[in-house]
Structure 1
């Protein structure tokens, strides 16, 4: 993917809606070029074309979501991987930032990853990392397992750290998710009482989605990016959550 296409995806996701003229001015190319780019990116499922511009494509496709704020997510993944000790067994719940964490851990051979994400398991196929994939009902777009069987599998596994994702964080609602079934899996993971670490870029701060996720007192740490506002850092720290950025 061209850097300009990545920049367009980031701009659209950050603003919620971006006009062709705005993208043309910001990226220093003609409006004709931007329109061609938008047509290509919509065809590939990264954005949605609207009159005069584009809006985000609300997709659970992990490959697509990884491209949004990629550099932030890569740095967060490196930070999270540094917390995993030799011989440790960790749960990686799913999502784009967590997929990049798995890739970082794939450079090692001294850890065990438990995950409901077949996408993450597939990333690990050329590595020496031990992978335990949870069973359950397969969600096609997110490539993740959900449902009663997944909860049962979580109940019968043991891990010392859990890395989780979110779709939104707001002072009035706390952590929220766009998907009720995956939210249920996240709640089951938190019930195990491991060290619970949320990895999320700061674009999720201020967003509210339909399904409640975690209570503030269930989360031990949030790994985010350097653009995280002081307002949200203070909110998390007020609830005794360590913020790393």
Structure 2
């Protein structure tokens, strides 16, 4: 379901680079239904690289999907004319670091479709700092985990508040049930953390206490 929702944000006819492609399921599925023109599946580790090659071969798509062993955006060449980049299933900080390290390979014309496993705030911060506007956000629950999808396009400069970076600017507007349920449970955890801080007052740095208290306050206001 998660990859299906990511696929829905890839524009029709895109030239897709799927970074950290694993089994190349996303580019192969999109190619098979005629949703994209061509794809690059990038993998940094040998085992998933071999798995991706196998998926592409089994589907007779070697001409349309190029599987490359490379670190992050080093899988992309200017000649690929990439118009969409998907990076899914890793921490937000890792996705941020991949984008930062590969900045020279971004033309600014690509749509970024990102699915972080946590660490959404620092990833949104990078997008804002680099002139990317968040044009789509989605939250879905699968196997008891909450997954966020962040879609961004370069349209800067753009400014988000600290709260928007924390919650997601479009999520805050939409306030759908999955989003509210997620933050309800996070608020409970924040309150438990603050209670444990109070019991161990002497050993917790004050700025740490303040940070968690501020986040708990933001969530309480959001849910009010």
**Radius of gyration: which is bigger?**
2
TM-score tier (shorter): 0.3 to 0.5
TM-score by length of 2: 0.45
